[in-house]
Amino acid sequence: MHTKAMTFSRHILEEAKVQQDMTAELSSLLMQMGYVGKILSREIARAPLKGRLGLVGETNPTGDAQKKLDVYTNDIMVEAFSETGPVAGLVSEELEELKILSLGREAKYILCTDPLDGSSNTDINAPIGTIFGIYRCSGNNHRELEQNLLNERMKQIAAGYVLYGASTMLVYTCGHGVYGFTLDCDLGEFLLVHENISCPARGHYCSANLGRYHEWSSDIQNFIAHLTVHDPSTRRPYSLRYTGALVADFHRSLLEGGVYFYPPDADHKNGKLRFLYECAPLAFVVEQAGGCASTGTQRLLDLKVELLHQRAPFVIGSTEEVALYEKFLTGGT
């Protein structure tokens, strides 16, 4: 019996005792995210039984064909944070604009989210996830909130993801270490299983869509050639692991070391992944765990953002591999 287990909610309350920026509103927002994770874990597992697989026939703001689960998970996110108080505005992969949820006194945060990461996996029972980044907000109306978010007048103060895999995991940080929880479906509780996660400085896995190899720059092709040389003395070749879900590939690198990258290619001149609700939240997590996130030429979190759905070239994971990737891209090798 898990009587001594640390639940996600208790962990947040304990953090609030020691972390000044862990306000009552932020605590309640995070607990609500835990609740959303439980609902989505149950409903994603039941999706084939409820006719929630397949496409809806629409596209999202960045032109991706929307899956029924993309729309369903986004609706759950909007519903769960509407009128709960702490969230003033929601930025989502599935919404064109920042959606005002509350302008009340408690509404102190902007929630940026990819409600369903890994959409191409929904119909084949492969891992998918939910990504979230939380910004302390300033502004009294839609225009001010959006402008302040885009002009870095808002600070990301918490981030994380939920991974719907063999088990459901929630990983989060509030800027004081990274913690991982596994959902005990019987108890309906996320229980702490990874305390103060530290990303190994070096790994053995690389995650990238090699189907795009010929569209990548020769620098990136040289980086891959370097990783795939047979040289046991330097623990090469690396093993390829590409699940089709950023959250799942990132989770592997976070726990076991390695690197995930999505560079510019013929269809994505600026990379595929979106800064505010895919790259920046995971960059915040990995840096808290001692890893790195970059565009290939600069620290990801230093990137200037002008659009809600702005894309960014992205490399994330162990410090050694990210540094090596940057070296290849800046001709340092």
Binding-site annotation: residue ranges for substrate:
117-120, 209, 242, 272
d(CA 30, CA 190): 12
Site for ligand FBP in 23-82 (CB under 6 A): 64
Active site residue 114: yes
Helices 8-18 and 24-46 cross at an angle (nearest 10°) of 160
**Bridge partners for 203 per DSSP:** none
The Cα angle at residue 80 between residues 78 and 83, in degrees rounded to 5: 85
Whether 70 is a known active-site residue: answer: yes
Rg, Å, the chain Cα set = 19
Q: Site map for ligand FBP, 263-302, x if CB under 6 A?
A: ---------x------------------------------
Report cis status (omega within 30 of 0) of the bond before 237: yes
Of the candidate residues 176, 244, 255, 310, the single one contacting ligand FBP (CB under 6 A): 244
131 or 137: CB nearest ligand FBP: 131
* Closest residue by Cα to residue 26 from 132, 117, 99: 132
Q: How far is the CB of 210 from ligand FBP (least distance, A)?
A: 9
Among 85, 86, 118, 203, binds ligand FBP (CB under 6 A): 118
By beta-carbon proximity to ligand FBP, the closer residue of 26 and 69 is 69
The yes-or-no answer on residue 117 being catalytic is yes
44 or 137, CB closer to ligand FBP? Answer: 44
Residue 317 contacts ligand FBP per CB under 6 A: no
Annotate 234-270 with DSSP letters as a single string.
Answer: GTBSPEE---S-HHHHHHHHHHH--EEEE---SS-BT
Which residue positions form the known binding site? 93, 114, 116-120, 209, 242, 272, 278
